[in-house]
Chain A
Amino acid sequence: MTRAVPLLALAAALAFPAAFTLPFPRHVMIMIFLYGALAVAWNILAGYCGQISLGHAVFFGIGAYTSTLLVARAELSPWLGMAAGAALAVLVSQLVGYPVFRLRGHYFAIATIAVGEIVQTLAINWDWAGGARGVFVPIKRPDSFANFQFHQSKAVYYYIALGLLLLALAVTRWLERSRHGYYFRAIREDQDAAASLGVHVAREKHRAIAVSAALTALGGTFYAQYVLFIDPESVLPLSLSILICLVAVLGGVGTLWGPVLGAAVLVPLSEGTRVWLGGTGKALDLVIYGGLIMVIATLQPAGLMGLARRFRRAP
C-alpha cells in the first residue's frame, strides 16, 4: 500500500467523531476497530506463522473475564485488569501451545476448537465467575479515564479502540521487519525446511501465539468495559473465534492491512443487518458472510488485499 492511503485513513479516522456525533456511526466504527484489532492479532499467528487457530475466543474471554472479575470482586482498575488479562492470556497460550503445536494443519485447527470449547464449558460451570449468568461490570461515575467507563459519549471508547487497532498494526509491522517475521513465514511455508536451516520452530510458534494472545486479550478487556456485561456466550463462543478468522480471511491473511479491510467490510454488514432486521439480524449477516467467503475463496483466495493489489498493478 502506498504511504498516502494509510495516512489519509488515519486522518479520517481521527476526525470521524467530530463529523459524526450520533452514537450509531461511532458504534459501528468502534466495532470495526475492535474486530480489526482482533483479526490483526489473529493474523500474526495464523496469517504469518500459518497456525490456523479457531480458539482465539479463549484469549478474548481471558481478557474480558480477568479485568471484569478484578473490577467486580477486587475493585481494581480495569487498566490493571487489562494488563493482567494480557499476561494471563500469554501464560495460557504458552501452556496450551505445548500440546497443540505438535499438531499440524487441520489437526491443529481442530485442537484449538477443542481448547475453546473446554474453556467455555469451564466458565459456564464456574459460579464464582458468574457461571452461565455472566458478570456485570459495576457502573462507576463520573466518566473518567481511570474508571475506563464513559457513559456520556462514545468518543473516548472510539479513540481507545482506534489505539488498540494501531497498536496491533504497529506490533505486526515491527514483527514483519524483524527476523521473527521471516521465521514465522518460513514456518508457514515449510516448517521442516525451516528447522533444517536452524529455526527453532516450537519457540517461534510460541512467540507468535504469545503476541497474538496478548493483543486479543486487550480487545477482550475493551469489549467488557464497552458493553459492561460479559457471559460465556458473548466472550467465549466458537462463533467468535470463527468470526475473527473470517474477518482476516476475507481481507487477506498474511498481510498487514488485510484484516482491517475485512473488518471494514464485514462489521458494517453485520451491524446493518442487525438494525434493518431487528434482534440479531436473523443471522442474515452470517448467511451473507458465508456467501462472501465462498465468492472470495473461489475468485480471489488472497482476499480483498489480493484484489487491491490486482487493481494497483493494472494501468
Chain B
Amino acid sequence: MSLLTVAGLTKRFGGVVATRDVSFDVRPGELVGVIGPNGAGKSTLFDLITGFTRPDSGDVRLDGRSILGFRPDQVACLGVARTFQKLRPFPEMTVVENVMIGAFQKTADVAAAREAALAALEAVGLGDRAGAHARALSTGQRKRLELARALATAPRLLLLDEVTGGVDQATVPALVRLVRELHARGLALIVIEHNMRVIMEISERIVALQLGEVIAHGTPAEIVRDRRVIDAYLGEAWRA
C-alpha cells in the first residue's frame, strides 16, 4: 500500500490555479522528485500535503486515511516532516535549541531532546555549530539546520523543498550525499529540486508540474525523453 496518496488536488488563489487535479502516490521508502518551472505549484503542493493550505478539492491520504483538514502540527505528528523553500530557522535560538523543537515530538524530556537534537546535528554535519545562534549560520548551514530539525521529528516521510537552491556549488555534493543516505536508511522522501543532474540522479520516480498540472510522471529515464517536459522545462539540451 502507498504511504502517501495525493488524489486530484486542486487549489485556486483568486483567479490563479496553483494546482489542478494533481495526483500521485509515494510508497514506503521511495524517493519521488518534483520538478517544474517557477510557479508550477511545487511549493503549494507541499503546503497542501502538510496542512498549511486547504485544497479546494481532492484528497491527501496517509496510510490510506484522509488527512484533509488536519493542522500542520497534526500532520507533523503523523510522521510527515518538511522543510521550507524560504528557510525558516528560529534565529534567536541556538542551533541545538532549533532542533530540539523537532525532537520534542518524540520526548517531553528536555535532556533527552537535547541529546536527540545533537545526534541529528551530527548526522547533517552541523555538530560543531550546536551552540551558535541560528542567525549566525550561512545559507548552506541553515539548509542543514532545517534538515536536522525535520529529521529530529523522526519522520516516515520527508518533504524537501529545494535541497541545493541558494547553496554554493562546493556544498551541493555533501547535501546530495546526505539525502541519499537518508533514503538508503529507508526514509521516504519527496524532493523539489531545480538542479536537474541532482534530481535525475537521486529520484526513483519524478512528477513534472507545469502551471499546476502534472504533465509527466515516471522514472527519470522516461521524464528526460518526455516531449512536454522538454518543451516546458528542460529545453533542447536535454533531448536524448
A interface residues with partner B (beta carbon < 8 Å): 177-179, 182-183, 185-186, 188-190, 192-201, 254
The proximity string for B residues 68-101 relative to A, scoring 1 for CB distances below 8 Å and 0 otherwise, is 0001110011000110100011111100011011
Check B153 for interface membership: any CB of A closer than 8 A: yes
Check B104 for interface membership: any CB of A closer than 8 A: yes
CB nearest to B88 among chain A residues:
A193
A193-B76 in contact given A179-B104, A183-B101 (Cβ < 8 Å): no
Q: How far is the CA of A197 from the CA of B89 in the complex (A)?
A: 12
A-B contact pairs, 14 of them (CB 8 A): A179-B110, A182-B97, A182-B100, A182-B113, A189-B89, A189-B90, A193-B89, A195-B73, A196-B72, A197-B81, A197-B150, A199-B73, A199-B104, A201-B73
A50: shortest Cβ distance to chain B, in Å? 10
Contact partner, B90, options A178, A185, A198, A254, Cβ 8 Å: A185
Interface residues in B147-174 by Cβ distance below 8 A to A read: 149-150, 152-153
Contact partner, A177, options B71, B76, B110, B149, Cβ 8 Å: B110
Interface of A is mostly: helix
| B82→A186 contact, CB < 8 A | no
A192-B97 in contact given A178-B110, A198-B153 (Cβ < 8 Å): no
Total count of chain B residues near the partner, CB < 8 A:
30
Please, which residues of chain B bring their CB within 8 A of the CB of A198?
Answer: 73, 76-77, 102, 104-105, 153
CB nearest to B76 among chain A residues:
A198
Please, which residues of chain B bring their CB within 8 A of the CB of A192?
Answer: 52, 72, 88
Please, which residues of chain A bring their CB within 8 A of the CB of B82?
Answer: 196
Check B108 for interface membership: any CB of A closer than 8 A: yes
A-B contacts counted at CB < 8 A amount to 79
| A193→B90 contact, CB < 8 A | yes
Q: How far is the CA of A193 from the CA of B93 in the complex (A)?
A: 13
Q: How far is the CA of A182 from the CA of B81 in the complex (A)?
A: 19
Contact partner, B76, options A179, A188, A190, A195, Cβ 8 Å: A195
| B101→A182 contact, CB < 8 A | yes
Q: How far is the CA of A196 from the CA of B73 in the complex (A)?
A: 6
Please, which residues of chain A bring their CB within 8 A of the CB of B88?
Answer: 190, 192-193
| A195→B71 contact, CB < 8 A | yes
Check B19 for interface membership: any CB of A closer than 8 A: no
Please, which residues of chain A bring their CB within 8 A of the CB of B150?
Answer: 196-197
Please, which residues of chain B bring their CB within 8 A of the CB of A179?
Answer: 104, 108, 110, 113
| A190→B90 contact, CB < 8 A | yes
B46: shortest Cβ distance to chain A, in Å? 10
Please, which residues of chain B bring their CB within 8 A of the CB of A177?
Answer: 110
Q: How far is the CA of A206 from the CA of B231 in the complex (A)?
A: 52
A201: shortest Cβ distance to chain B, in Å? 7
| A196→B108 contact, CB < 8 A | no
Q: How far is the CA of A186 from the CA of B88 in the complex (A)?
A: 11
| A186→B81 contact, CB < 8 A | no
Please, which residues of chain A bring their CB within 8 A of the CB of B152?
Answer: 197
B124: shortest Cβ distance to chain A, in Å? 15
Please, which residues of chain A bring their CB within 8 A of the CB of B98?
Answer: 186
Please, which residues of chain A bring their CB within 8 A of the CB of B84?
Answer: 193, 196
Check B210 for interface membership: any CB of A closer than 8 A: no
